Structure 1
Amino acid sequence: MTKGIRIRAWVILASFFILIIHGLPGLPQAQSQPLASAENNADFAPPSAYIRAFDANEMLTEYPLAPADTSSPRASLESFISLMSEANRLVLEAYEANRKLLDLGEESALTDSQIDQRIDLARVLFDRAQEIFDFSGLPTATREETALENIMLMKEILDRIPLPLPETIPGNPAGSYTYDVPDLPDRWTLPQTRITLQKDENSGYLFTPETVANIPNYYEQIKDFPSHQGATQDLFQFYTSSPGDLLPPPWYVWIENADPWLMEVYEGQTVWQWIALIGLAVLLTAAFLGLRHWHVRRPVPLHAARRKLFHLTLPVAALLALQLLQYLAVEEINITSHVVIGLNLVIEAVSWALLAIIVYLIIDFVAATILSQDRYRETLDASILRTGFRILGITAVLCLLGYGATRLGIPLFGVIAGLGVGGLAIALAAQPTLENLIGGIILYADRMVRVGEFCQFGEFVGTVESIGIRSTRVRALDRTLVTVANADLAKMRIVNYTRRDRTYLRRFFGLRYETTPDQLRTILMDIRAYITNHPDVMDDTVRVRFLGYNGTALEIEVAADILKSAYEDFLAVQEDIFFAIYDIIQKNGSGFALPSTTAYFAKDKGLAEERQKAAEHKAEDLRGAHELPYPSYAKTSCTDNSAPSAPETTEEAYKDGKTAAAR
């Protein structure tokens, strides 16, 4: 029971598909309408009706710079068909003649020079025909190759579709060059097609970019239709299946005489073209990998400039390999259609990227060559130059990539707008880096420090080891490496000891209180004489003075300018002076005050009564004369030549006092 149901279901399904294929009974059948042609429709004309007979050699001789007539839709269409028909005839004549010469040495009606002349004339006519198209929608990188293919495809399309009568198309015939005809439409579309000619203010009526973009699709739809001109050879198929530029090279005869399967077409290319392209790519890839293997095993040069050249080898080799692949694939193997578009786009993109890398490395090499000089070694000038070259390299890379993007069809203004927004975000995120960059510029402009200088930065001191555009490295006295951001360094109080023209020496010494005044005078004179006569001391800056009494010693000051800027040299001179001071103090019977306490014991003789009374009488006299300056100072000074004199020696002061200051 189940089996019978399944059989009936399959029968019903099969009947349904048969009805779909043959049409349901009672319903009107869709009839395939034959393509209108000039033979069965009086409103249409064959392409031959548009051809204006002319001699290409004579025309180019008399009017070598004459452009195609695009003054009207009719003139543009007639010019294109006439130019392409004549170019097609010249190419096929040259090909047949060349084949006879190469194939078994048959005689030909044309000589080699005549064959070459026909190919040259055909190229000129193809260039004239390209003037009737607006190729602005094609990427610049592939425009040259695809433009020739598009005009060949358009010729084959127009050969296979019905064309209106020439007199029904707006405008004057080709060759009139009447661009001032009134009431011409801005756009004109070929009847029953989407092929459109649009007026351009500078170039006349051109096939629109939309039409150009759809030419391959139009051709695929009608490529199996017969040609209205009765042509036996499809110009586009001939061009895409043969190597070389219009005229195949001699070795193509071997392929034509080989197995027919080599001429079968897959994805727009013949089998032999696929084999040649893949083999060429594999060969060049193997050669590059071999070079890379050899390059990696080589020792890297130690010199910076040579190391940059060493790194240039692989990018240059890769660029040359890609250019060789593109030349052989396009010019010799003649890869066409969408395959050559994809191949050219990939090669173009990679080539511009490699070229940008090469230019950056060349700029880096120039920078390394300049910075290898001793005067630039690890200085701020070197950092600025290195950064300047780096910015120059990045700018060159961006320019090259931007230009390469335009050749690939990427709108540059959109890229710039995107970079502007992205640059703003990066600038906000990289604000500390920009601050350090500005700080580095400030350091360079003010030239505060240089490499090798001994400075004090805020609370620490050290020797500058390197100055970068972002940070500065300082070797501290304890040999630690301190890295300071340039933005912070520019705000610090910097004391540069290395840039002193001379070094200031100022020291204090304490002598024992037992030193007599004459001893002190002699010591001061001897120290002053020695320092003044020292060859590394500026004599007019020497100062040796007795400063006074402190709690432990008789304090003297020694100051002078040492004629040494280097700190080590200054320490040597200072050491020499300190030894001399020590010898002078010892020679004069004194010594340095020690951190101790000395108690002096003596019999107390009381106060001097005579001097006490004299002082009291003096005060009474001044009080009686209302001249006593206390508690308010008098306007006149009080002097008394009869006042007692100070003790003459230090020993008398000690004897008169009950105790003396302890040291």
Structure 2
Amino acid sequence: MTLLMLAGVRRGKRIVAFLAGLLSVCLLSGLPLWAGFQHQEHQLLDQRYASSQPVIPLEQQPFHAELERRADLWRHTPLGRVVGDSPQDTLLNFYAVMADVGQLIEDVEASHLNDRGLFWNRQARAEMAEVEVLFDAAVASLDGSLFPLGVRPYLKDEAAIQLKHVLDFIFNSSRQVVTIPDAAAMKAMNDERSKDTQSWTLPGSSIVLTSQVLEDPANSNFYFSAATVANASAMYAQVSRQVEDLGDQPFFTRNFYADFIHTPGRLFPPKWYLNLPAGLRAGLETEVLFGQTLFRLVLSVLAIGCLLVLLAVLFRKLIHSFRSDSGEAVGIWLRDSLAWTRFLIVLPMVIATKAAELFVDDYLNYTGMPLVVLTVLFEVAYFSLFVLLVFLFFEALGRSVSEGLVRLSGREDVWRLSRTSNRVMPTCRIVSGVVAVALIYKLLLQLGLSPTLVLALSTVPGLAIGLGASKLLSNLFAGLSLQTDRPLRVGEFCEIGDKRGFLTKIGLRSVEIETVTGRITIPNAVAEDCIVNNLSRHGPVAGASQLQGLELSLELDADSPFSPDQIADLLALARRYADERTDLINPCLTVELEPGSPQRLLCIGLIHVVNWRDYIDLQESLTLALNQLIYRVDLSHFVLSVSYDTTDQQLAAIPALVQGIIDRTAGFELKACRLLVIGEFSYDFKCHLFSEGLSFIQFKDSIDWINRELLRELAVAEIVIPFPTAIEIKG
């Protein structure tokens, strides 16, 4: 235990050292860049070269009065949509709302910053919610279709604030009169053109407003175009220095974007963060790497580190659960519990991954390219774990449903559970596959692929299946046929082609048979084409035990075929023996008499076994017993030959002599002793004995005693048994 504790402490120290080293590298690599940037001296071109045209103030632009009117409307009735049916409606509404949002953020923070507590009170949260609604209305006027779906909400928020600053610069630094057309002006412009255009470009800029939205072809309102939104960061980078030099004017929000990218939270930072000392906040808001602040970087490294540790621990448990299940180590009745355990192991992974993504994207408020990279990584990890979770969920659901159905039937047999699982599990796996495909499709959309491209990519697996997976499809359809027609069921004893055994699995691709030498997997297409002999039978009562068919064929003496009397005795003994066996149900015995073929004793019946060991034991015992009966019948019919010197009185005494011997032998009966053959060298008496109730050893001992008594009685009666006669070869 002490060694384990020491190992854990050392591992913890290594993790802390790694994180500290990573943080140091980030700081050392980022601080020089930030310092150099802060002390960089650069004179802008518009400051080097004077212009002969004066700047037209915002108050002198023709749209200023309309802007004031709209700003007043939004300030007192903050409801409605920013987008309108003309560039004037959308542009002026957007600029007025964004100016109002920037001012309201400062007002709410200033009015509630000194309230008691570390967190915003209810009143502050209500005011913040109203500001969020206004901001969402303004962001909704941006067409962000060029952004990947996974980061689109975050990049649209950032682009909206950047566009606000670009408009600040244009409206307060323009040297030309800016006329923003309303719906009537747009119609008049299109009347003068040879081709109608539903787009308008703000003079002196690359800001385009258009009603042609790719994701909404029926749209008639004007939005900031997708290209404009995608280039908002580049436009802001060009004018950011000039925006800093602008004087305080109406509608101008100087620190809107700087506060947005340097503080946690979407629009409003946490109250405890704003209450930090100014010097500490300045240090935490220092840009150290890829434009991200020290506060944001440290917390994101800690969050990702904790996530990786959690994933490593849970993945280790998950792998261990699969190792413990290898080699049938877990009973079939515990597979549902094990499946749910795996599901519960993966579930925290999915939740933790999504929580870490929301923490980094929403709470820490990453921006720019780091936001895109981290979000893509999080989305890939999240959807991958989600797909795994879906598979494990349907696996556990299928196991539980199978076990529940078996328990409801009232007979908790292993073969019945296996059979039910083989029906339920393929359906659950197909459903999980469909859900997984849908999740992968969603992931590709989140990563920025267009639906058309995703559908085009989906044709590649179909082409691969058509070219190289024809066998897989044939096995799949053959498996569905086996499941539908049900010529075989799990647990049944059957023959597929030349393979005989217990059917242990019917899958979507193959069937599995447990033979006497091992388990054989047969593709479904092959099984469907083979001759299938189902040796199992089912009782007429629902829930009765499953029976297997047994067929034995034993060859009789090929050199000396059985006589009709021998066949009758053999069938009588064999049928009586089979009827007395409780493990042989509805036995049927007969002797095959086909011309040109040896005689064979055929035994057909039903048995109840669940494995090969029981089957072989029963087959061996039955085969041995029937062979003993054949041997008994063979010895019970014999020929007694006497020489030609035997007198008539001696010949007449032979049946009585044999009868006396048999009468003295327990368990034997003499049915006949007749002189049936006069041979070339002897008189042949055919004796027909019949015995019952003796064990095989007792029978052989009795035959031995009968033979000895015959020799003795014949010697006393002076009856000679002839030796083989030598045949003279006449020359």
Say whether the fold is shared (TM-score over 0.5): yes
Question: How does 1:144-183 map onto structure 2 within 5 Å?
Answer: 144-162=153-171, 168-171=179-182, 183=191
Contact kept, 8 Å, 1:512 with 1:590, in 2: the verdict is no
Kindly state the Cα deviation for residue 398 of structure 1 after the two structures are TM-superposed.
1.3
Contact kept, 8 Å, 1:470 with 1:485, in 2: the verdict is yes
- In structure 2, relative to structure 1, the CA distance for the partners of 1:272 and 1:36 (3 Å cut) is farther
Question: How does 1:405-420 map onto structure 2 within 5 Å?
Answer: 405-420=444-459
Question: How does 1:60-459 map onto structure 2 within 5 Å?
Answer: 60=78, 64=79, 66-68=80-82, 70-101=84-115, 115-162=124-171, 168-171=179-182, 183=191, 186-200=198-212, 201-225=218-242, 226-227=245-246, 230=249, 231=252, 233-259=254-280, 260-266=282-288, 267-289=290-312, 300=324, 302=330, 303-312=334-343, 315-370=346-401, 374-375=413-414, 382-383=421-422, 385-451=424-490, 453-459=492-498
- In structure 2, relative to structure 1, the CA distance for the partners of 1:488 and 1:221 (3 Å cut) is same
Structure 1 unmatched runs, 5+: 1-20, 22-28, 105-110, 592-597, 603-647
- In structure 2, relative to structure 1, the CA distance for the partners of 1:42 and 1:385 (3 Å cut) is closer
Residue identity opposite 2:297 in structure 1: W
- In structure 2, relative to structure 1, the CA distance for the partners of 1:281 and 1:199 (3 Å cut) is same
Structure 2 unmatched runs, 5+: 1-41, 213-217, 407-412, 538-546, 610-614, 646-673, 684-723, 725-731
Q: How far, CA to CA, are the matches of 2:148 and 2:586 in structure 1? A: 83
Contact kept, 8 Å, 2:549 with 2:604, in 1: the verdict is yes
Q: How far, CA to CA, are the matches of 1:649 and 1:601 in structure 2? A: 13
Worse overlay, 134-143 or 375-384: 375-384
Contact kept, 8 Å, 2:263 with 2:285, in 1: the verdict is no
- In structure 2, relative to structure 1, the CA distance for the partners of 1:475 and 1:277 (3 Å cut) is closer
- In structure 2, relative to structure 1, the CA distance for the partners of 1:237 and 1:34 (3 Å cut) is farther
Q: How far, CA to CA, are the matches of 1:142 and 1:389 in structure 2? A: 33
Contact kept, 8 Å, 2:53 with 2:175, in 1: the verdict is no
- In structure 2, relative to structure 1, the CA distance for the partners of 1:149 and 1:203 (3 Å cut) is farther
Residue identity opposite 1:275 in structure 2: V
Per-residue CA deviations over 1:476-504 (Å, capped at 9, x if unaligned) read: 55x35544433333322334444488767
Secondary structure at the aligned position of 2:271 is classed as: coil
Per-residue CA deviations over 1:226-248 (Å, capped at 9, x if unaligned) read: 33653473211122222334233
Percent identity for Structure 1 against Structure 2: 21
Kindly state the Cα deviation for residue 580 of structure 1 after the two structures are TM-superposed.
5.5
Q: How far, CA to CA, are the matches of 1:45 and 1:131 in structure 2? A: 26
Kindly state the Cα deviation for residue 139 of structure 1 after the two structures are TM-superposed.
2.2
Contact kept, 8 Å, 2:536 with 2:549, in 1: the verdict is no
Contact kept, 8 Å, 1:57 with 1:121, in 2: the verdict is no
The match for 1:613 is none
Contact kept, 8 Å, 2:113 with 2:275, in 1: the verdict is no
Q: How far, CA to CA, are the matches of 1:203 and 1:92 in structure 2? A: 35
- In structure 2, relative to structure 1, the CA distance for the partners of 1:342 and 1:369 (3 Å cut) is same
Contact kept, 8 Å, 1:379 with 1:450, in 2: the verdict is no
Secondary structure at the aligned position of 1:54 is classed as: helix
Question: How does 1:475-494 map onto structure 2 within 5 Å?
Answer: 475-476=514-515, 479=517, 482-494=520-532
Kindly state the Cα deviation for residue 465 of structure 1 after the two structures are TM-superposed.
5.1
Q: How far, CA to CA, are the matches of 1:313 and 1:540 in structure 2? A: 53
Kindly state the Cα deviation for residue 351 of structure 1 after the two structures are TM-superposed.
1.3
**Among 61, 72, 88, the residue aligned to 1:54:** 72
Contact kept, 8 Å, 2:390 with 2:435, in 1: the verdict is yes
Contact kept, 8 Å, 1:72 with 1:204, in 2: the verdict is yes
Per-residue CA deviations over 1:425-475 (Å, capped at 9, x if unaligned) read: 243222333333334334434434445554444455455455544344445
Contact kept, 8 Å, 1:501 with 1:564, in 2: the verdict is yes
Kindly state the Cα deviation for residue 281 of structure 1 after the two structures are TM-superposed.
3.0
Contact kept, 8 Å, 1:326 with 1:347, in 2: the verdict is yes
Kindly state the Cα deviation for residue 213 of structure 1 after the two structures are TM-superposed.
0.6
Q: How far, CA to CA, are the matches of 1:136 and 1:526 in structure 2? A: 93
Per-residue CA deviations over 1:85-124 (Å, capped at 9, x if unaligned) read: 22222222112223354799xxxxxx96664454333222
Contact kept, 8 Å, 1:440 with 1:471, in 2: the verdict is yes
Residue identity opposite 1:170 in structure 2: P
Secondary structure at the aligned position of 1:192 is classed as: coil
What is the CA RMSD across the aligned residues, in angstroms?
5.0
Contact kept, 8 Å, 1:454 with 1:461, in 2: the verdict is yes
- In structure 2, relative to structure 1, the CA distance for the partners of 1:223 and 1:49 (3 Å cut) is farther
Contact kept, 8 Å, 2:561 with 2:599, in 1: the verdict is no
- In structure 2, relative to structure 1, the CA distance for the partners of 1:386 and 1:453 (3 Å cut) is same
Residue identity opposite 2:359 in structure 1: L
- In structure 2, relative to structure 1, the CA distance for the partners of 1:102 and 1:219 (3 Å cut) is farther
Secondary structure at the aligned position of 1:161 is classed as: helix
Per-residue CA deviations over 1:244-295 (Å, capped at 9, x if unaligned) read: 3423322223445224343334544333333333343334444555666787
Secondary structure at the aligned position of 1:410 is classed as: coil
Q: How far, CA to CA, are the matches of 2:561 and 2:232 in structure 1? A: 118
Kindly state the Cα deviation for residue 220 of structure 1 after the two structures are TM-superposed.
0.8
Structure of larger gyration radius: 1
Residue identity opposite 2:180 in structure 1: I
Contact kept, 8 Å, 1:504 with 1:560, in 2: the verdict is yes
Kindly state the Cα deviation for residue 207 of structure 1 after the two structures are TM-superposed.
0.9
- In structure 2, relative to structure 1, the CA distance for the partners of 1:252 and 1:48 (3 Å cut) is farther
Worse overlay, 246-255 or 495-504: 495-504
Kindly state the Cα deviation for residue 652 of structure 1 after the two structures are TM-superposed.
6.6
Q: How far, CA to CA, are the matches of 2:128 and 2:208 in structure 1? A: 30
Secondary structure at the aligned position of 2:210 is classed as: strand
Secondary structure at the aligned position of 2:222 is classed as: strand
- In structure 2, relative to structure 1, the CA distance for the partners of 1:456 and 1:155 (3 Å cut) is closer
Q: How far, CA to CA, are the matches of 2:300 and 2:480 in structure 1? A: 54
Question: How many pairs were matched up?
Answer: 558
Residue identity opposite 1:274 in structure 2: L
Q: How far, CA to CA, are the matches of 2:399 and 2:424 in structure 1? A: 10
Q: How far, CA to CA, are the matches of 2:164 and 2:493 in structure 1? A: 82
Kindly state the Cα deviation for residue 47 of structure 1 after the two structures are TM-superposed.
6.5
Residue identity opposite 1:352 in structure 2: F
